[in-house]
Structure 1
């Protein structure tokens, strides 16, 4: 076990990497606290950043926090530490999502040290959501297997949607986007989390420069954060005709499963980034219960759908802002 606490500089670096994770509308719904004497980083949900319209459960909030936790583990491994994780350690305190006890890799309990995590560290800063068209270039089978294995390592299932079921999923995404546009409360909630960078310097939300181009083909699966607004100078382009979509699922559908799904999602994304594969999300049908269950493949599908990931080869998406660490990290004796 650690006899001296990691420096504040190291802990700050771990949390900075953690906060590079994706979250619904870039809401960054997390708080971290580090206790020097116990060598423990706690991750708490910031329920003030819950979205009652799109995410009342709040399932996607847990996915975002799970993704941040995976980044924390990757960063710890990069710094020669293991983060021994306890998920939901206090059932009476649902905001306490995880505790990460830091230990040297050589002293970590069996199964706590994962040498493959450190290899993903450089991908943390390179990973960005890309809302631009991808090339009509298939992802090779060996990478598809790599991404599935990455999810499996975090107790989740990730598989690409086959051509037979793809049309159904694309229609569900289109239907959900239409439902969103016709729901004033959801539209208002989305607009609340978009940012006009000509007016301010955002620290959260989706900035206008990250909206991506307009869809001229009717085949884009990413959420259009411009909504029905006309943005001056925004071009319209054709997206890939048959997007390559992966479905992330878990056996259960409770907060513990959501945290596992978030860790699996980020491990898939970092693995993809390291191999030059870009990604974006199609969360719209997951946010409508009557559509979510139809996402499962009627023949091969199992478990509970947690995320649809669009993957392919294209431009690296732009960096999106992050909250200052002083807002999300407290270091105590």
Structure 2
């Protein structure tokens, strides 16, 4: 990492560590607003905003650091969604609103119409399982109807909460129904569904990487401190072997997310992000099983920290693309590269990434 990235990591790590205990106790919108105000004062959500406009002019590698730390500390705020949304709005010259911004995937059948009097665009349709939809100010989504493919920004309060339930970690996942809601702004975007899924997958995979590292750390410390049959659990070879497998899974996801972020900075990342999210999803099952096995009963108690990470891991692996979705995406790309040569396809991507580092 560069000196600037090390400084970013240290700063955000300290802030998230301070917020973590309070975030796990969030119960009201007042608490949410207070914690969100703390992050906004630090300016973390303006990572991609140019320096001359009060931001950091950051990169996706910088963003990966924040996503990772958010997962490692179990931050219960939509800071990652807001960073990604602001980047997409910035790239498409859409004015950035105040407050938390979430990302929602629209259901089939949505439509955009035009108000005859004002000429404003109106959106009708539903969004499912929107992260923090009940507490975010705006939501960035898409619509691909007969009017064309568009990235659109909506006010959450202009829609009606029609259900949804918290994820396994208790974080809001809301269904929002809009009926001729005013579109704050929009931009034409080819394949908006794939674009939002790709950015969301990079975000979630990086958070998974952080949560895996925390669960691994807790597991290692528990086996060092807990004794059975006269010696620490960490001295048993079977436990050591399981923790080694856990460490391999965690390291693999960490490396994959770094590569995916670097590729996104180069502007061609679909292959790397598909491989990364798939690898992260598959790591969750093995890693969480080992974590709870070595902890035993205490790992399932609400008072112990492990569930803050494992419950998020179980939720995140299905968000922004499950195993099947990214397996199909990866398979199609491999088949498409068959004629020109898959080995040349892989090495060319690797060479481009190496040149960027140099």
TM-score under structure 1 length normalisation: 0.27
- Larger RCO, structures 1/2 (Cα 8 Å, 6+ apart): 1
- Higher helix proportion (structure 1 or 2): 2
Instruction: Tell me which structure has the larger Cα radius of gyration.
Output: 2
